[in-house]
Structure 1
Amino acid sequence: MRVLIRADASMTIGSGHIARCLTLANVLRKDGAEVVFACRQLPGHLLQRLADQGYVALDLPERYAQEQEQEQEQSGADIETSLAWQADIDALADALNNQPRFDWLIVDHYGLDARWERAARRFADRLMAVDDLANRPHAVDLLLDQNYSAQAQDRPYDQWLDPRCKTFLGPRFALMRDEFQCEPITIKPRVERVLVNFGGFDAARQVHATMLALQGFDDLQVDFVAGSHNPEWEAMCDLAKARPNWRLHELVSDFFGLMRQADLFIGAGGGTTWERAALGLPTLCVSVANNQQLNAQLLAESGVHLYLGGHETLDPQQLVQAIALLRDNRPLRQSFAVRSQAMVDGRGAQRLAVALIEPVWALRKATELDATLLFEGRNAPHVRQWAFNSDLIDWDSHVAWLQRSLQNPQRLLLIGDTAHGPVGMLRYDRQDERVEVSIYLFEGQAGVGWGQALLSSGERYLRQHWPQVRVIEAQVLADNAVSISLFQKAGYRQAECHFQRVINDE
């Protein structure tokens, strides 16, 4: 699978778009995908960072020829300002230089909308948009909005999307690195260590403002992550030198490690929101961009963090009071930790990777070489628990069954393979125009969408190899809620515990 990602980073835009796309790219690469980035050479671009991680990073011009756009950029236009979409398409075409089509093009950019997406069909078979504004039309096959606001609001994208577009909304799909699938931090009686970070560039200068607010808290160990490009860097260096408990970090190779050591996080409402939530790290949040405000406010109303509003209107004394409150209030911090952890499990990037892989995924027929794989899969406790025959199957019986199955022209045994190993098995038993399906996942593969991917890919296989089949049926135990939900989401109609799907109504 080939994937092209179109996203930008800059001093104004920040690094969040590239950071979350990079997380998804890393998961896709593990699954065998080739991923290419295309980014503009804006001040603060991250092209070298992408190249250092082994990605092809195509550079697009900093500015296009349109005079209006040049004026907008030179005046420090808002990050949501529309980009000259046709010029961007033309620049992308030049950079790709007639490369073969991609399977997916992922666009994560506030300045691009349906006009750009329709034109970008020339580069890829399918398009995905990453968004968190819900304020402009899209022409894509799949849309991700990982914010709580997308989940809390009533169908926020209905007016902006084709009804056939698949949507992945809410923190369950937050794009997070694998290390955040971890145990939460311990909530101490009193805050001892604080971590302060307001994004990769901190154009709002909030790290410096937080330093000033923390001057009266001599008992706290504080890590400030800002970067030497910060406009207040020299002033912050002077403040940090005078306090042995403070550490000012320009570059951090292990931000996760710093987060795990912290008892309190002070920062913005951007990409680290979900990383903090996964760790159960209590947070004092100040939004530094318009697109952060609604999500930060709704999370505060849900008891996830303490939100002080936008940085433009923040009273410095209010920040001091909030730090004092959280320092000594363990029950409040514990409540924040519990509520935030309930929102995320750190597997959002894996769920999106499965959704991208599924349309181009080809199942393979099982062979005798799969005997051990299927034997262990069928006898796994999580499979036997919901089997109509929950007894352990002995090896000789299994081998005999497999041989009969492989020789049976009315049975299909299909394996779902990925670059890092098999994920599950499908069995179809045919009688005239009907088949009965059986499905299970191998150990450790549940919870990210492989069941849906197997069923969808299996239907494509049936249409190609058994075109006469028009109905798929499934038998499910009455209390198997997971399988019932799986078949319902796949479009099967339930009659008691019998599922049926019509795939050819002619």
Structure 2
Amino acid sequence: MRFLFRADAGTAIGAGHVMRCMSLANALQARGAHACFVSLDLPAHLETVLQAQGHEVRRLPEAVRGDELGDARATLDGEQSLVACVVDHYQLGRAWEAEVMAHAPVLALDDLGRSHTSRWMLDQNYYADPQARYGTGCPASVQRLLGPSFALLRSEFEHARASARVRDGVLRHVLVFLGGMDSGNLTATALNAIDLGLSPGVRVTVIAGASHPDLPGLRAWCDARGLAALHVQVSDMTPHLLSADLAIGAGGSSTWERCACGLPTVAICLADNQREVILEGTRAGFLWGIDHVPSTDELAIVLRALAGAPGLVQHMSERSLQMTDARGASRVAELLLPKSMQVRDATSGDARMIYEWRTSPEVMGASRNAASFPFEDHLAWLERVLQDPQRLLLIGLHDGREVGVVRFDINGDRAEVSIFLAPGTMGAGLGRALLVAGEHKLREKHPQVTLVDAWVNADNPRSFHLFQHLGYSHRISRLEKEFA
């Protein structure tokens, strides 16, 4: 089960794209998947981090820079039997997605409200009206995953969320982390502002990436202050986030890491795509936002104000904890690769069970042929199916219990899918998981299949929406999707 992740990192764009992709890759890895990161720009230390997590890294040739179609084709070069591709890149849009979608479903990560042609689109940020940001730019075939409940955080934040506390509002310990790159050395501005705005008795933790432009200067400041420590390239942020009373941080994806730990934050806008999140977060009360790069004096005034307003700081902490349960990566991994649903090949021993399901009123009402038939006819049909190499009959198991049947009738590079659930299991979301698991098995056994279609009873809107949400397009009385 192979996934591709197309993301870059660097001084100009930071490390956030790669880091949140790594969170999702780790969650998929826990479900038995293999992740390959495909990058044009990637600092050596981040490549080392990805490889240490067990992920493959592949570099794109410089010739594809600025060429969306060339980038897409190079990303797919040599790849077969992909479950999905994840793209987290502001310079790769609809053209890239369309090219890759011809070979594998695409999950596009976004922060900008752009138009998409992918299977899924994820924007983990908080907005008062998240659906309005995408309007008609995403057709109904694109499933939208919106809001901090889908924030792609590493597994340690899920554990930290369980022990996070609401702060009492007193500033004893301040954490400064302004991104893995911080090319403009805003960290130095924050430290000077702390000198001006907070008591010398306040403890300070400074975190910086290995690529920070002035690590010696940060270390000298910490040594001079006394109650301060510098940590470089931290692998586990949670102890620092849980112990601090206030953070000074960027408005990017680290926002949700701090929220998971209940940490009140002065969030500074370091890129245009962070501005709306910062403004919305300030209105919602889970951070104090500054929508531009502040001067030392301006930031010192904010720190002085918060030090004198413990009630406000406590409220920010409470609201932060309400924003996310830190299970976003697990939630998305379950969507891409359902863990609780497995499929096995049907056998003749399943004859009676399948017959009872097929002849139940619930299943018959949605069938193409609703006429009753004797068990002997069913046995003959099952025997033909099991002996036919161009038919794939699978039994779905949820938590070890048989819950449904999915069948693929294969004709060259096309397949027709049929699916039904056991009586009493409908409406629990199992149909989607069964169809996804069945598609994965089809990829393994019949990699030549490039198009799957389905017939759906016109009186069965639930089945129609099931296929539509999984990327099948309506074609008169049928639904179909390109398959890779």
**Is the pair's TM-score, using the shorter chain for normalization, greater than 0.5?**
yes
CA contact (8 A) 1:10 1:44 kept: no
Q: TM-score, normalised by structure 2?
A: 0.73
What displacement does 1:362 show?
5.0
Q: Contact 2:151–2:324 at 8 Å: present in 1 too?
A: yes
Name the structure 2 match of 1:138: 116
Distance 2:241 2:146 in 1: 26
Distance in 2 (alpha carbons) for counterparts of 1:11 and 1:44: 12
Question: How far apart, CA to CA, are the structure 2 residues paired with 1:458 and 1:29?
Answer: 20
Question: Paired residue for 1:259?
Answer: 241
Q: C-alpha distance in 1, partners of 2:22/2:311?
A: 36
Q: In the alignment, is residue 127 of structure 1 matched against residue 109 of structure 2?
A: no
- One-letter amino acid of the counterpart of residue 134, structure 1: G
Letter in 1 for 2:228: W
| Structure 1 residue 297 corresponds to structure 2 residue 279 | yes
Counterparts in 2 of 1:4 and 1:438: CA distance versus 1, 3 Å: same
Alpha-carbon distance between aligned partners in 2 of 1:212 and 1:259, rounded to the nearest angstrom: 21
Instruction: Give how far 1:58 is off.
Output: 0.4
Q: 1:21 to 1:423 in 2, by over 3 A?
A: farther
CA distance in 2 between counterparts of 1:114 and 1:308 reads 32
Task: Give the CA RMSD over aligned residues.
Answer: 3.8
CA distance in 2, matches of 1:456, 1:189: 45
Residue correspondence of structure 1 range 158-237 to structure 2 within 5 A: 158-181=135-158, 182-216=162-196, 217-237=199-219
| Matched letter for residue 184 of structure 2 | A
Read off the aligned partner of 1:295 and give its amino acid letter. Answer: V
Question: 2:80 is matched with which residue: 64, 86, 100?
Answer: 100
- Alpha-carbon deviation of 1:104? 0.4
> 1:438 aligned to 2:424?
yes
Quick one: distance in 2 between partners of 1:435 and 1:309?
51
Match of 1:118 in 2: 98
> Does structure 1 retain, via aligned residues, the 8 Å contact 2:178–2:250?
yes
CA change 1:361–1:229 in 2 (3 A) is same
Contact 2:341/2:437, CA 8 A, preserved across alignment: no
Shift of 1:404: 12
Structure 2 distance, partners of 1:468, 1:163, is 19
- Structure 1 pair 241–461 and aligned structure 2 pair: CA distance change class (3 A): closer
> Would the aligned equivalents of 1:11 and 1:44 in 2 still touch at CA under 8 Å?
no
Q: Deviations over 1:434-479 (max 9, x none)?
A: 9873239xxxxxxxxx942x12244689999xx9995999xxxxxx
TM-score normalised to the size of structure 1?
0.70
Matches of 2:67 and 2:11 in 1, distance apart? 19
Amino acid at match of 1:132: D
* 1:455 aligned onto 2:423: no
Residues 1:28 and 1:460: Cα distance change in structure 2 (over 3 Å): closer
Once residues 120 and 360 of structure 1 are traced to their aligned partners in structure 2, the CA distance between those partners, rounded to angstroms, is 28
Query: Is residue 2:133 matched to residue 1:156?
Result: yes
- Aligned partner of 2:31 in structure 1 is 31
Cα shift at 1:115: 1.1
Among the aligned pairs, what percent are the same residue? 29
| Partner Cα distance (1:99, 1:408) in 2 | 37
Output the CA distance in 2 between the equivalents of 1:119 and 1:258.
42
Take 1:213 and 1:461, find their aligned partners in 2: how far apart are those partners? 54
Contact kept, 8 Å, 1:23 with 1:349, in 2: the verdict is yes
Matched residue, 2:356: 410
For the pair 1:307 / 2:289, whether they are aligned, the reply is: yes
Q: Is the 8 A contact 1:363 1:457 kept in 2?
A: no
1:33 positional shift = 1.3
Q: Deviations for 1:351-384, whole angstroms, at most 9, x for unmatched residues?
A: 21122125996534899xxxxxxxxxxxxxxxxx
Indicate the residue corresponding to 1:396 in structure 2: none
**Alpha-carbon distance change, 325 to 263 in structure 1, aligned in 2, over 3 angstroms:** same
Q: CA deviation at 1:425?
A: 6.3
CA contact under 8 A between 1:4 and 1:35: conserved in structure 2?
yes
Kindly provide the amino acid, as one letter, of the partner of residue 82 in structure 2.
F
Unaligned runs of 5+ in 1: 70-82, 368-402, 441-449, 474-485, 492-503
Amino acid in structure 1 at the alignment position of 2:208: A
Task: Please state how far the C-alpha of 1:289 moved relative to its aligned partner.
Answer: 0.7
What is the CA distance between 1:209 and its match in structure 2?
Answer: 0.5
SS in 2 for 1:437: coil
Q: Equivalents in 1 of 2:208, 2:455: separation in Å?
A: 63
Give unpaired runs (5+ residues) of structure 2. Answer: 359-393, 406-418, 443-453, 468-476, 480-484
Counterpart for residue 4 of structure 1 = 4
